[in-house]
Structure 1
Amino acid sequence: MWPASGTAGAGPTQDSADAGFARDMAIHHQQAVELSFIVRDHTSSEDVRRLAYDVINTQANQRGMLLGWLDAWNLPKSSQEPSMSWMHHDMGGMHGMESMEGMDYKPHDGSLMPGMATNTQMDQLRKAGSKQEDILYLRLLTAHHKGGVAMSQAAAEMAKTEQVRRLAQGMVDSQEAEMKLMADMLNLRAA
């Protein structure tokens, strides 16, 4: 699996979709892990705790893989380019991205990319009571996953590296399944 490159000996470049996705999704995943730790440690709901635990483990592992690829490619883990700028490189070949909300997203209140919670929302989650915390977490994580799915779909189509395309498609599939689960969980809570 190492190095994750499209051709023998050559890895993705600094401004490639592969590197941009790895950097941006590592940041995106870090916040999902943080949201999930907040709830895992406070919820009285076993199904919410189980979801939070799964998100923590899955997304922390994927984040490590993304950062490891950047190391293997000898690329920096951060960039001066705005988040998601890699998505604008080849918009013509992308399917379904025409309707993606936030393509010209401007970071605000700590929310660096579409779907990411703001600092205010993170504070609300930390201060919420148990039932309200569960509902807020499920709503924030659903929005978070929607943003992540849009990025992952773009990477699955644009990345030159097979491993990146496979991981991105796996993220789409698993996060769409989790969004369905969270919709059911919200319905059970009459939210």
Structure 2
Amino acid sequence: MSAPTTIETSELDDQTPPERGATARRWGTPALALAIVVGLLLGYAGGLLTPRLTRPGDASAEAGFARDMVTHHAQAVEMGMIAFQRSTDPEVRSIGGDIASAQQGEIGTMQTWLRSWGLDPAGSEPPMSWMPDGASLVKDGLMPGMATPEDMAKLRAAQGRELDVLFLDLMIKHHLGGIHMIDGVLDASDEPDVVATAQTMKNTQRNDLTNLQNALNRLGG
């Protein structure tokens, strides 16, 4: 298991941990799955609300961010569902469920952007090529913060406290990498929908980081 990650205080300054309700703790897996589907549909709708006179091109920062962040989010959804379905810790279950449902909805939004821009969801550009330092951030084919196949295999096999600590540690790294990517598109884009959604993602993930680190500290990770 990788060493615990220490969050830089600059990532957490002035952040107030959100009041996470007991909703996820009360839901069963079918109910969360339904919530994820609803979030995905709302994401699709949100991506279509604002008509555009101009559209980002295939090699644009907006298109690259959307494609790469869909892949990045997909791993977070899997990790969150593992925690929600199999953790025995109520707080970890709640965090996992919240992350899975929120990021699935954002996947829907970004996929809808690409369709509305008339772009291939996969594209031909290498991962992270839309960021100035992007090539150097890809390690063994993985974007910033993404868990390795070996780490994901460990998470799928883990149980009890080991599962909780590993999930929290991996998700902290995942969010920190995701925020770096979000900052990249915020620096590069003036597309209103992209900027607004990216800023919301950043705020949500910063709040998640507070909860993830607090839970990790409580469990002695």
TM-score (ref. length: structure 2): 0.75
Please report how far the alpha carbon of residue 4 of structure 1 lies from its aligned counterpart in structure 2 after TM superposition: 5.3
1:121-143 per-residue CA deviation (whole Å, 9 max, x = no partner) reads 00000111210000000000000
Partner amino acid, structure 1, of 2:208? E
Matches within 5 A, 1:41-190: 41-88=85-132, 104-108=136-140, 112-190=142-220
Distance (whole Å) between structure 1 residues aligned to residue 48 and residue 216 of structure 2: 40
RMSD: 1.7
Contact 1:3/1:72, CA 8 A, preserved across alignment = no
Call closer, same or farther: CA 1:106–1:148 in 2, change over 3 Å: closer
Partner amino acid, structure 2, of 1:48? V
Match of residue 98 from structure 1: none
Please report how far the alpha carbon of residue 30 of structure 1 lies from its aligned counterpart in structure 2 after TM superposition: 0.4
Matches within 5 A, 1:3-14: 8-14=52-58
Percent identity of paired positions between Structure 1 and Structure 2: 34
Other structure's SS at 1:82 match: coil
Match of residue 40 from structure 1: 84
Match of residue 16 from structure 1: 60
Call closer, same or farther: CA 1:136–1:187 in 2, change over 3 Å: same
Other structure's SS at 1:86 match: coil
Contact 1:30/1:60, CA 8 A, preserved across alignment = yes
1:51-89 per-residue CA deviation (whole Å, 9 max, x = no partner) reads 11101110000000000010000001112322111012x
Number of positions where the alignment pairs a residue of Structure 1 with one of Structure 2: 175
Distance (whole Å) between structure 2 residues aligned to residue 165 and residue 157 of structure 1: 9
Partner amino acid, structure 1, of 2:196? R
With 64-73 and 169-178 compared, the bigger mean Cα shift is at 169-178
Other structure's SS at 1:87 match: coil
Distance (whole Å) between structure 2 residues aligned to residue 4 and residue 21 of structure 1: 19
1:102-133 per-residue CA deviation (whole Å, 9 max, x = no partner) reads 7603442xx52010001000000011121000
- In structure 1, the gaps of 5 or more residues are 92-101
Please report how far the alpha carbon of residue 158 of structure 1 lies from its aligned counterpart in structure 2 after TM superposition: 1.0
TM-score (ref. length: structure 1): 0.86
- In structure 2, the gaps of 5 or more residues are 1-46
Other structure's SS at 1:85 match: coil
Distance (whole Å) between structure 1 residues aligned to residue 198 and residue 130 of structure 2: 14
